[in-house]
């Protein structure tokens, strides 16, 4: 999947193409076909009908359809290009990168793409729900990540022709901070992490901008946007995603009509992350270099 890289590490991208059609926001997060990457498997057609591919001659990043006019993706997927260079089955009329996006720290790594005309839904194309601002994702919450990125770290082969899916648990921000602290990378409240302690499953190069979703009450809710990581699927190094629930006000301020479906995701039980304590570097020692990537175009599946 594409993520920016940390220091010497590789970066991650994702995408998929196809016809483009959609449902009302009230129908978000409900695949009509009702089917359910690194360490992942091929996804069945129609399993993730909100998945989007950004392309410039070929796939380089992913995104998610959030209503009939807008796509959510990562800010680092958006190069400095004029709008008319962005072409899919619809042209892109507008690009909105979060005003506080920091390409060095990857904080606020989120962007919106507006299509020139609305699309219609099919069994294979429909929007995802977005996590509302009061959502809580405790450690261990099951999540799915989808994309066309590499299937292993250091894999230099072309991105997958088939959409991949992988299930990974949420990793609490305190533990994630501890995991990345030794690498001089700061995990902020605008981020959410996911991965296995033992590694083996993760998003990877080519998956950036794509969605991380969790299911509640029969609906799939997007918790994160693939952002960055160190390598792919390494032990004790979870993938890092932009936390969607932090941006409800910003998204709604940009999309004034037919707003996306924001739904509160509520975790149950006790949040084990609250008991995590780790050694912290002095703030002056924190460095967060990440590499950004050029190129852009868009497609759906």
Which are the catalytic amino acids? 76, 109, 208
The sign of the dihedral angle between the CA atoms of 93, 99, 104, 110 is negative
User: Where in 153-270 does DSSP place strands (E)?
Assistant: 164-171, 191-194, 211-216, 219-228, 239-243, 262-263
Please name which of 266, 207, 252 lies closest in space to residue 4, comparing C-alpha atoms.
207
Number of alpha carbons in the 13 Å side-chain half-sphere of residue 53? 27
Please name which of 134, 138, 161 lies closest in space to residue 150, comparing C-alpha atoms.
161
For 84, the 3-state DSSP assignment is: helix
Residues 156, 72, 40, CA angle at the centre, nearest 5°? 40
263 is written with which tokens?
């739904």
């Amino acid at each position: 999947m594409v993520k920016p890289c940390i220091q010497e590490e590789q970066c991650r991208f994702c995408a998929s193409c196809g016809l483009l059609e959609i449902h009302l926001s009230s129908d978000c997060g409900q695949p009509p076909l009702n089917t359910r990457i690194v360490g992942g498997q091929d996804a069945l057609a129609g399993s993730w009908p909100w998945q989007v591919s950004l392309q410039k001659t070929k796939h380089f990043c992913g995104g998610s359809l959030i209503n009939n006019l807008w796509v959510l993706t990562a800010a680092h997927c958006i190069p400095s290009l004029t709008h008319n260079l962005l072409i899919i089955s619809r042209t892109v009329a507008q690009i909105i990168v979060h005003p506080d996006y920091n390409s060095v720290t990857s904080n606020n790594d989120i962007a919106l793409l507006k299509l020139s005309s609305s699309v219609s839904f099919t069994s294979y194309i429909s929007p995802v729900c977005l996590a509302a601002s009061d959502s809580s994702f405790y450690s261990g919450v099951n999540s799915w990540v989808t994309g066309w990125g590499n299937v292993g770290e250091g894999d230099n082969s072309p991105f997958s022709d088939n959409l991949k899916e992988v299930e990974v648990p949420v990793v609490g921000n305190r533990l994630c901070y501890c995991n990345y602290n030794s690498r001089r990378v700061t995990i902020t409240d605008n981020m959410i992490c996911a991965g296995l302690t033992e590694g083996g499953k993760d998003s990877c190069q080519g998956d950036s901008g794509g969605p991380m979703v969790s299911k509640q009450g029969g609906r799939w809710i997007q918790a994160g946007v693939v952002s960055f990581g160190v390598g792919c699927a390494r032990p004790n190094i979870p993938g890092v995603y932009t936390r969607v629930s932090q941006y409800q006000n910003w998204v709604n301020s940009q999309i004034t009509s037919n707003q996306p479906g924001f739904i509160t995701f509520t975790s149950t039980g006790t949040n084990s992350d609250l008991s995590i304590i780790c050694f912290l570097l002095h703030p002056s020692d924190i460095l967060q270099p990440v590499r950004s990537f050029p190129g852009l175009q868009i497609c759906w599946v």
